[in-house]
């Protein structure tokens, strides 16, 4: 198996980078970035720890749930979850993050990279209250790079096509998966419990 081990080999294999691909990267959020984030109900948060182990975690809420504080700052509210805090743990250790914003129906994506901090300042987070409940914390992102990613991946995958949707009963729910992977608990009961807990603890 042939492997690429150096930046030189990588560039030689893929060829010259198009100048527009370099110039499209901006150090702040322009109007297009702001409008896209305001439409987005979903973002993937990528992070890594001090040993280089990577993690990617989904975040979702109503469109525009990621708050644009200013041209170089974003706030991603943290809603109730399973308390693994993998992303936050990585960010506390390394202070770096990568974001991928998606908007249902649009093929292009928005990528944002930069520094990151975790805040639990309720006076700051009160603007992100939903259903009368404050976020448990917030991810403050200092924008260093912001650029749009062409829609080929979404187009190839037909991600938004109605015919691409998989019937819910074609794959087991997470409750059953966990039960069978861990060999404990009744799969059907755990599945019901997970679904009920999810409904109760969205915010």
Domain holding 175, by residue range, is 166-200
Assigned domain for 174 exists: yes
* Token pair of 149 as six digits: 């990613």
Same domain, 68 and 105: yes
List C-alpha distances in Å: 105 to 66, 108, 117, 151.
19, 9, 31, 11
At residue 30, the 3 state secondary structure works out as coil
Tell me whether residue 8 is in a domain. no
Q: What is the pLDDT of residue 82?
A: 87
Residue 123 domain-assigned (yes or no)? yes
pLDDT tens-digit map of 111-170 = 999 999 999 999 999 999 999 999 999 999 999 999 999 999 999 999 999 999 999 999
133: closest CA among 197, 79, 183?
79
Residue 94 pLDDT > 90: yes
Find all residues with CB under 8 Å of 124, minimum gap 6, and list them.
Answer: 75, 138
In a domain, 38, yes or no: yes
Mean pLDDT, rounded, of the chain? 95
The phi, psi pair for 202, rounded to 5°, reads -65, -35
Total number of domains constituting the chain: 2
| Structural domain includes residue 20 | yes
Identify whether residues 118 and 191 lie together within a single domain: no
For residues 51-64, average pLDDT:
97
Does pTM surpass 0.75? yes
């Amino acid at each position: 198996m042939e492997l690429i081990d150096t930046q030189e080999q990588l560039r030689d294999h893929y060829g010259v980078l198009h100048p527009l691909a370099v110039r499209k990267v901006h150090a702040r959020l322009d109007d297009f970035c702001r409008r896209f984030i305001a439409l987005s109900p979903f973002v993937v948060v990528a992070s890594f720890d001090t040993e280089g182990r990577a993690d990617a975690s989904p975040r979702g809420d109503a469109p525009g749930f990621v708050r644009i504080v200013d041209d170089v700052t974003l706030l991603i509210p943290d809603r109730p979850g399973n308390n693994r805090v993998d992303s936050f743990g990585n960010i506390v250790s390394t202070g770096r993050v990568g974001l991928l914003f998606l908007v249902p129906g649009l093929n292009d994506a928005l990528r944002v990279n930069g520094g990151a901090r975790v805040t639990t300042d309720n006076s700051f987070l009160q603007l992100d209250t939903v259903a009368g409940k404050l976020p448990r914390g917030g991810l403050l992102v200092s924008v260093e790079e912001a650029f749009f990613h062409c829609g080929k991946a979404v187009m190839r995958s037909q991600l938004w096509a109605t015919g691409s949707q998989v019937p819910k009963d074609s794959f087991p729910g997470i409750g059953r998966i966990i039960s069978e992977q861990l060999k404990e608990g009744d799969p059907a009961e755990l599945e019901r419990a997970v679904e009920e807990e999810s409904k109760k603890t969205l915010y």
